[in-house]
Amino acid sequence: MLGAFASACASVSASASRLHAAWRSHSLKAAGGRYLKRVQPARAMATAKSNGQEEGGTRCVVYVTAPNESVAQSIASELVHYRLAACVNVIPGIKSTYLWAGKVETDQELLLMIKTRRELVNTLTERVVQLHPYDCPEVIEVPIVGGFQNYLKWIDASTIQASDKIQGAGE
């Protein structure tokens, strides 16, 4: 039994090596004898830009976890009120397992999915840290590299310019 398994693994490994070699040579032979060219990263990015997508993007989603509805809603309302975020989705039912103070912990949390512009992330992070009860709140930025252009423009229009002073925040 073990011999058959080892033989199958060797066959898969050899196939993977041939596929990798073909990929590195920039072509793959498809069914019917046609060759497919590997899309070069620069060419793929140029195609994405022509479709309204941006390298890295100027907008992003920021993920923040919260221990309860009250904290989540407080952070969400503050970020939208001061236009650091265009929209915050509060997603309940998140179960987080993490290492804290040398122990594995598991807690029920809520996830905030915050849509904003990348230039606002530092200010947004500072505000989250001020409002959040955790010693080390999760604040993770993920670039938006494409999407419905009207929505992306709405994010821009709904958030402040980074040079604008936020009146009343933290008071």
- DSSP string for residues in 74-140: HHHHHHHHTTS-SEEEEEEEEEEEEEETTEEEEEEEEEEEEEEEGGGHHHHHHHHHHH-SSSS--EE
pLDDT interval class at 20 (50, 70, 90): very low
Lowest mean pLDDT segment, chosen from 1-15, 70-84, 97-111, 122-136 = 1-15
What pLDDT score was predicted for residue 161?
85
Question: Cα 95–99–105 angle (5° rounding)?
Answer: 45
Q: What is the mean pLDDT of residues 107-117?
A: 98
In this model, does residue 9 exceed pLDDT 70? no
Is pLDDT above 70 for 27?
A: no
Quote the pLDDT of residue 162: 73
As a whole number, the mean pLDDT across the chain is: 78
Sign of the dihedral defined by the CA atoms of residues 65, 68, 71, 77, in that order: positive
Q: Is the pTM of this model over 0.95?
A: no
Of the ranges 43-52, 80-89, 115-124, 145-154, which one carries the lowest mean pLDDT score? 43-52
Is the domain defined by 59-158 classed in CATH 3.30.428.10?
Answer: no
Mean pLDDT of 69-80: 98
Residue 39 has pLDDT above 70, yes or no: no
Mean pLDDT value across residues 144-160: 96
Average pLDDT of span 109-135: 97
Can you tell me whether residue 69 is helix, strand or coil?
helix
H/E stretch holding 20? helix 2-24
First to last CA, the chain: 71
Better-scored residue on pLDDT, 99 or 170: 99
